[in-house]
Amino acid sequence: MDAETIVAIALPPLTTLGGVWVGWKLNQRSAERVRTEERDRQEREARRQRQDDAASQFQLDLVVALRALPRVVGPAEQIAERLDQVHEGLWDARARAAVLADRIIEARFQALDTGVTILADSARLRLRDAPVDPYGNTMGPQVNPWPLVVAAEEMLQALAAFQRREEPPPAIFPTAREVAALSWDDERGDRGLDQVFSLLRERIKERRAASFGDDATADT
């Protein structure tokens, strides 16, 4: 039997075996890719579940911490004492939710805590500089904590939206850096949250005006 005949006889089986091997190799790679994708998906879901659990617990802890938050105008000394409690509670809650990593939640937490710290310090400064009546009693100044109520509500909104996997409504309370900048005036010194108060009123007015305009557009 000549060489050409031998090649002609052997080639079909060799070609078939080669095709089987290539197919097996492709299937193996495909199966490995599927396993990798499934493993990655499970890891993402597990990580997200841990984040959801942390957000839920963080929300509950914040509600407890914010019970001390004053919500109406009050004497500076009392406001400062209660804000110290809030500050401590905020950081205890954050420490227990260390696994939670979300840009919006962290930004709002920092803004809220910065506001709490600044208003507490401002209340003590105003109490120190308060006038004294003829009987030696300090005529204690009053402090309005309303801006912090707004910040607290927006913080809780962000946590609720995170658990629903939605974006929260845009914040009107300024960022931590903006709050710090607004708390001091080169000419007048300590401003507490007075300028934040004014800024919030303007932003609320703008939001209402925009909402009214949207409603009017929808009616036409």
Distance CA 171, CA 211 (A): 15
The per-residue pLDDT for 3 is 45
- Angle CA(53)–CA(102)–CA(164) in degrees, nearest 5? 55
Residue 81 pLDDT class (50, 70, 90 cuts): very high
| Burial of residue 145, with CB atoms counted within 10 A of its CB: 0-12 exposed, 13-18 middle, 19 or more buried | buried
Please state, in angstroms and rounded to a whole number, the distance separating the CA atoms of residues 192 and 183. 5
Q: Where is average pLDDT lowest: 17-21, 119-123, 138-142?
A: 17-21
**Rounded average pLDDT over 32-49:** 67
**In sequence order, what are the residues at sequence separation of 6 or more whose Cβ sits closer than 8 angstroms to the Cβ of residue 24?**
none
- Rounded to 5°, the CA angle 173-175-179 comes to 85
What is the band of 111 on the pLDDT scale with cuts at 50, 70, 90?
Answer: very high
